[in-house]
A and B are shown apart, each in its own frame.
Chain A
Amino acid sequence: MIIGEDKFLVVVMVISVIFIGLAVYFVLIDRKLSRIEKKQAEIFCQQKRSQDLDIRSQDKYKVNREIDISIQKKDQGSQDGL
């Protein structure tokens, strides 16, 4: 089955080593990309959360402000009535 010439075996070994090196390189790149993707996803999640918090705090501020204004108006109305 195997050709008896040593040259073939040497060629096979050299190509195998090159290919294994290439395969390891690809696996490492793939893993590195996965890590970066995970980090990016976390950063996006944090950014979104902080944006949501900002919007919520802005909404709370608006509501509080409206309550303050309505109380002030009520107070003014009662003073005018007196």
Chain B
Amino acid sequence: MKGIVGYRRPFPGTQPDYNYPPYASTQKRCPTQALVLPPQTLSEITGPVFGHGDVKPGDSDLTRQHKGDPIGERIVVSGRVLDENGRAVPNTLVELWQANSSGRYPHPTDQHNAPLDPNFSGAGRTVTDAEGRYRFITIRPGEYPWRNHYNAWRPAHIHFSLFGQAFLTRMVTQMYFPGDPLLPYDPMFTCIANEAARNRLVSVFDWETTIPEQALGYRFDIVLRGREQTPMEKMP
């Protein structure tokens, strides 16, 4: 098939390697043989299409999923999903999950000695609007220890999962909070070599989305892979 407009290869240093020794679990889970670089075909420039019918309006408010209010600091997390050409990615599914305010996940393998919150499940989802915007209301997640190295703590973070418009734009990432002192020690954060790319994962405090007397706003813009060539725009 001709006329396939492919997606750009990553800019060096902006994506993690599969083998990153400071994150110990990568050692037995990274491929050891060279990856095969095939051409992008119709199978990869397409991908599952989700829409507003796949989510319910309440899915994006994690503070209203149970009878009571969850414990912790309410926050608004919002932003835009763009591609590498700066274009909005509209109508795309955004999934999110996170720990509660004490740094605990309601998951059987999370044995951290911190309380569960019966009013907080920590999962949400939404679909971006025509301008690529999304918005969640949630609770600021707590930091928590893990066993990667001595006295290892994860910085506060929120997991994001996005599809974009193709199999090739699929992305799972994490959002961090500005000024978190744990960031320089966190191998998930440091696995991205390029400093600007690393800092792209840190949200910014956002006065405009802060709700008076209710919730602080954090803005987190996400950039998905973009097309190699963009259709020529008509010159005036």
Do A and B come from the same complex?
no
Interface residues of A (CB under 8 A from B): none
Interface residues of B (CB under 8 A from A): none
